Structure 1
Amino acid sequence: MTAARIFAAVDASGAIRFVGDVPGGSACGCFCAVCGSPLVARKGDINVWHFAHEAQQERVECLVGAMNLLRRVAADYLRSLPRLVLPKYRRDVSRVLQTRRASETVEWDAQPVAVDWLEAGAQDAPIARLKLDTDAFADLSVEISDSPPVLRYPPADNHIGSIVFWSTVPVDSDLRKEIYARQHVHRWGRMVWLHQPDSYGLIADAQARLDAAGLAEERQLAEQARRDRERLERWHAENSKRPPPPAPARTEQLHLPPWARHKKANRPFFGFRFSGYGAWVLFEMEDGRAAIRQLDGKDRWFDLVKAPGAVFDSGLDVLVVPSFTIGQSILRGPLEATRISSDFADILQLR
């Protein structure tokens, strides 16, 4: 959650005072950390406890100032620790190759050997400069928000690391007293690395490996393309010297019955055998219509012809239907065997 009220102020000595740690009303002698105006502690039974300006000139900047006081509480908590323990630094290194995206994750441990504490100023200002055992330096800052910190821009100085002590915003009940706020920071606060100098050269090594893999893949793809191009050129050279193959003799046409010679060229025969209805053949005709013929010599046209537009052509001795799809719908039934072939001899085996 995000605090929407002023929950902390400063007293005449500059010390942080939470609304639950002071008496109600104006007796606390508290002032706004931003504008310096006197504040009144409102501690009723209905609304959330909070400070309000005596002149009621509530401003957004004053709410931000209260959150900055909470950062000071977190900074004081960090100062009270006997030593700062930092998590391992992890960094994903990637390179887009021609066929995939390659990546590596590198990590190393870096701990502070010296801490130079600074005054907690603006929200983004560091509270300490850390000297790491990697001979590098890193700035430590505090962030109180409901979203984890991320590195939104490249670091201004690539030689200085950046680490954030991050905690979620306490609920209203944990903002009443300073001890509650400290307990929340202690429980939920954690260190988050944003950037660290590549002191050991691990990032550079990983990037070099990925670059080498990219170059190797580019060379491999280029070599494969060259071999494919040479094979294609050889194929064209060999086939340009060969005479064109002779047209196949249409011997099949000589052996087809008259009705089957009306099949459209380069179209197959479709053979069917039905239980109780014998063997049938379906094919597309030269004019785009379809023809159905019974193969076993037993006329059963009137049992199957149910589609509109189906006409028996006595001259061709076939049943002609408007389209191949209609022919298939006519020959729908208890199918026992189906054979599809451009060889009429295979169709005849269905008889």
Structure 2
Amino acid sequence: MSKLFIARNAAGEMRFIGEVERGAECGCWCPECGSPLVARQGMANDWHFAHGATQERPECGLAALRLLRRFVIGHLQERTQAAGFTLPAYREEVTLTRSLVHLREEAQWGAEILGDLQWLPEEGEDAPVARARLDSGVDLHVFVQLGDAMPAPVPADSDVARLIFRVRLPPASVYRERRLAVQHLQSAGELVWAHHPDTLGLVRAARERLETRGYRIYSNWLSMVDAKRQALADAAAPAAPLFYGPSSPQGTQAAHRHACAPDHAPNVNFTFYRLNHQEAWLLYLLERVGPSDWRNAQQKFYALAPYPGPFDGWAQALPTAVGLADEALGIVRLTGFLDAVTYLSRRARVTRSHRDPAAFKGL
């Protein structure tokens, strides 16, 4: 705003250029320098206030913008005190981007003001103009944003909610009358949320649902890859025995054992996870002793083995939520299969699946 469209009269009241007499009879003063003003209401140019005999200064134009800001704050105060006023619903988009997946979900909830808004003296464009307490259990700060000014970024972990009354600067013709300015604020002004803490846990719940969906998609993809590789292997090799253990049927051949995967079940697939240049793991099904078909067993136990062998600190490398180290055997017995897959998938640089662990050499 380079011209004065709003000024103050001798009583300190805010006056628009179309509300005063023409010329020096306007009775208005510059809100910045205090000089008397002249109302320019010609046919060729936009109506505006001008300094009488003194030179126009840029800071005087900025003073008009501050006056407009105060006018907007007054309008917002009236709007929030009107009967039936409610805050807009808060909405936050939660996304999950992983290998093979890009998921999104919107979390939303309502919030209402407890009591009245506390209006604050202006301390600058980045300062809140009002404060309140919300029924969601957090403090609320209200800001005003004029034009294309970008609000200050809000830290994601901020425990204060932030609401912005945003309005674009109107054309010059709107500044002529207070009535037109109010109409512009009513049609163009909008309350938008910049931030609300996740006090109800709805964002966290949405993120957990996306994690579950992402894991399911990844698992299904891995299963399809395994199935294709298994089909190729089955087509090129004799059928694998279904039974093993002390009472295995006669005639079945002993399954090949892999020293890098202690106590693995026979004829199973191994999943390889490379976390960094030193740390890599094999995930596999543990052998189940007895005359049961291991592929249909109700209770299955899984393990992680450091690959191609133990590295320094392997027994303490994984959190206890994943599994507990069996140092005598050289494996980590999984506490939860899904927890282990989720933990490793998020951190793995390379993931492969194969029936022969030798296929992972060099990865």
TM-score band by shorter chain is 0.5 to 0.7
Rounded Cα–Cα distance in structure 2 between residues aligned with 1:50 and 1:173: 10
Give the 3 Å change call, closer, same or farther, for CA 37–236 of structure 1 in structure 2. Answer: farther
TM-score by length of 1: 0.58
**Deviation digits for residues 219-277 of structure 1 (CA, Å, limit 9, x no counterpart):** 33233333333333444546xxxxxxxxxxxxxxxxxxxxxxxxxxxxxxxxxxxxxxx
Q: Which of 4, 9, 16 is the matching residue for 1:6?
A: 4
Aligned 8 A contact 1:52 1:58 in 2? no
Q: Would you say 1:90 and 2:95 are equivalent positions? A: no
Give the 3 Å change call, closer, same or farther, for CA 151–67 of structure 1 in structure 2. Answer: closer
Give the 3 Å change call, closer, same or farther, for CA 150–221 of structure 1 in structure 2. Answer: farther
- Aligned residue for 1:141? 143
- Aligned residue for 1:58? 57
**Matched AA of 2:182:** R
Rounded Cα–Cα distance in structure 1 between residues aligned with 2:236 and 2:40: 92
Q: Which of 124, 131, 134 is the matching residue for 2:133?
A: 131
TM-score by length of 2: 0.56
**Matched AA of 1:136:** V
**Deviation digits for residues 149-208 of structure 1 (CA, Å, limit 9, x no counterpart):** 877734376211111222332332321122331232234322112221222111110011
Q: What is the CA distance between 1:49 and its match in structure 2?
A: 0.9
- Aligned residue for 1:109? 110
**Deviation digits for residues 290-319 of structure 1 (CA, Å, limit 9, x no counterpart):** xxxxxxxxxxxxxxxxxxxxxxxxxxxxxx
- Aligned residue for 1:191? 191
Q: Which moved more, 1:221-230 or 1:132-141?
A: 221-230
Rounded Cα–Cα distance in structure 2 between residues aligned with 1:200 and 1:233: 51
Aligned 8 A contact 2:154 2:194 in 1? no
Aligned 8 A contact 1:73 1:182 in 2? no
- Aligned residue for 2:177? 177
The alignment covers a number of residue pairs equal to 233
- Aligned residue for 1:290? none
- Aligned residue for 1:232? 232
Q: What is the CA distance between 1:95 and its match in structure 2?
A: 0.8
Paired residue secondary structure (2:208): helix
- Aligned residue for 2:293? none
Paired residue secondary structure (1:214): helix
Give the 3 Å change call, closer, same or farther, for CA 73–156 of structure 1 in structure 2. Answer: farther
- Aligned residue for 2:270? none
- Aligned residue for 2:37? 39
Rounded Cα–Cα distance in structure 1 between residues aligned with 2:28 and 2:155: 39
Paired residue secondary structure (2:4): coil
- Aligned residue for 1:49? 47
**Matched AA of 2:111:** A
- Aligned residue for 2:15? 17
Once superposed, what is the RMSD of the aligned Cα atoms? Answer: 2.8
Q: How does 1:191-230 map to 2 (within 5 A)?
A: 191-230=191-230
| Percent of residue pairs bearing the same amino acid type | 34
**Deviation digits for residues 101-155 of structure 1 (CA, Å, limit 9, x no counterpart):** 211112111111231111234233321112111121221122232x6x8777343
Rounded Cα–Cα distance in structure 2 between residues aligned with 1:32 and 1:157: 43
- Aligned residue for 1:158? 158
Aligned 8 A contact 2:9 2:28 in 1? yes
**Deviation digits for residues 82-112 of structure 1 (CA, Å, limit 9, x no counterpart):** 3442111111111124333211112111111
Q: What is the CA distance between 1:63 and its match in structure 2?
A: 3.1
Aligned 8 A contact 2:100 2:218 in 1? no
